[in-house]
Amino acid sequence: MKIAIIGAGSGYMPGVIRGLLHRAGDLAGTELSCYDIDTGHLVVMTRLARNMFAARDAAFTVSAHTDLKSALDGASYVFTTFRPGGLAARHLDESIPLKHGVVGQETAGPGGFLMALRSVPVLLEIASATGPDAWIVNYTNPTNIVTDAVARATGARVIGLCDQAVGDTEMWADLLGLPFEGLEADWTGLNHATWAQRLRLDGHDLDVPLLLDDLKVPGGGATPWRDPSRMAELAKTLGFLPNSYAKYYFFHDEVVEELRKKGTTRAQDILAMLPAYYEQVTAESGKADPDPSRERGGGEHGEFAVDVICALHRDEGRRMIVNTRNNGAIPSLDPDAIVEVPSLVGRSGPVPLTMGPLPGPVRGLTQAIHAYERLASDAAVTGDRRTALQALMAHPFVRSKHTAEKILDEGLAAHRGHLPQFT
């Protein structure tokens, strides 16, 4: 079996390697075809992979490629995890909307829209060069829009990934005083717009409203990953669990002020730490038993992706939360919408489990986000400026046509080198 890893020079690659080691016995004999446009980072990460595998007698072969077609040739699974334009482009995605009073975030709202315009053309190129029986396992953001564009424009077999559900379940375990091990939440909705009305611990249903009645709203501020005070406040009002990204919708103006006061974007913060990170990973890559930093490449990200590939390849029928075609799982959304829901993942692909209607307090919001995502997907595929403007106007963050026009004009100009469809 051959797995192509597109974006193998990424800082997340150590986590992917750890994920592969986690399932090394199930994947023995697999060829890993590693591709990246950054030759230096590709050399480091493939050397790291070979030495980590050798230290643990893991039966993988590793090849490095700077030609996309050769990397994809014969692949059964294509794992996509890259950021067109790098973190410099992410900075623009975050800063351009913020200048106009709108949350600048890498996956949600106008920031995610600008990233989708760059990501989709690359994924379409990958899909066109991928065999008809191969699975594209996509981690490239914004995963909902990218997965929708690939599915509708090419008909390729694609499954969208995000490990936010894992992190959010862990956050809610902490807030509710529950053990994370054995806790299962039915997150349902759209990527970064999911909601959980049902919780189980060791297979037994929990009384979510009662748990929330007893929940004390903690003090303290937000981190780049969590905002427990706002999440607790929101959950007690809604009566169910919100995804962490809900804060951008329900506390939008407060978040805008906080982002402005902070003075740097998240992209700039990451750029500041990356040189030391890559220096450490480079040094470790030459050792007989490397232990690279987990600051960008922790195991959860990689383990989830590898577990999905194993579930597909081994026909495990494993219950996983993935982004896939709705097919009636959420009757509140179009049957062909790409939704994030618990699914049984096996050789024929993910089978979404019936979740029922979206909860009333967030049904309209989630439907509005879906309408935006469908327009954004169309704009990213066609390069039609009118559709792009309609997409931005449809997003709940954007409350003015003129604001949408300014963000679109500046975004298209700033990213023109990565937008071949807008000519």
Kindly state the tokens that stand for 346.
Answer: 């096996």
- Identify whether the C-beta of residue 394 lies closer than 8 Å to the C-beta of residue 368: yes
Determine how many CB atoms are found less than 10 A away from the CB of residue 102.
25
Residue-wise pLDDT for 219-263, tens only, equals 877 777 789 999 999 999 999 999 999 999 999 999 999 999 999
Query: H helices of 100-192, where?
Result: 109-128, 143-154, 164-176
- The Cα-based distances of 255 to 143, 235, 350 in angstroms read 23, 18, 35
248 labelled catalytic = no
Residue-wise pLDDT for 354-385, tens only, equals 999 999 999 999 999 999 999 999 999 999 99
Average pLDDT, the chain: 96
Residues 6+ apart with CB under 8 A from 216: 232
pLDDT (0 to 100) of residue 224:
74
Catalytic option among 245, 249, 278, 372: 245
Kindly state the tokens that stand for 4.
Answer: 């192509």
* Alpha carbon distance 374, 148 (integer Å): 8
pLDDT above 60 for 297: no
Kindly state the tokens that stand for 383.
Answer: 């390069």
Please list the residues that pair with 318 across neighbouring strands.
Answer: 345
Residue-wise pLDDT for 316-331, tens only, equals 999 999 999 999 999 9
- Identify whether the C-beta of residue 197 lies closer than 8 Å to the C-beta of residue 240: yes
pLDDT (0 to 100) of residue 226:
86
* Alpha carbon distance 254, 248 (integer Å): 9
Of the given ranges (56-70, 86-100, 183-197, 294-308), which has the lowest mean pLDDT?
294-308
pLDDT (0 to 100) of residue 225:
77
* Alpha carbon distance 221, 115 (integer Å): 28
* Alpha carbon distance 142, 344 (integer Å): 23
pLDDT (0 to 100) of residue 142:
98
Residue-wise pLDDT for 154-165, tens only, equals 999 999 999 999
pLDDT (0 to 100) of residue 296:
72
Kindly state the tokens that stand for 177.
Answer: 């005083």
- In the chain, pLDDT over 90 holds for what percent of residues? 96
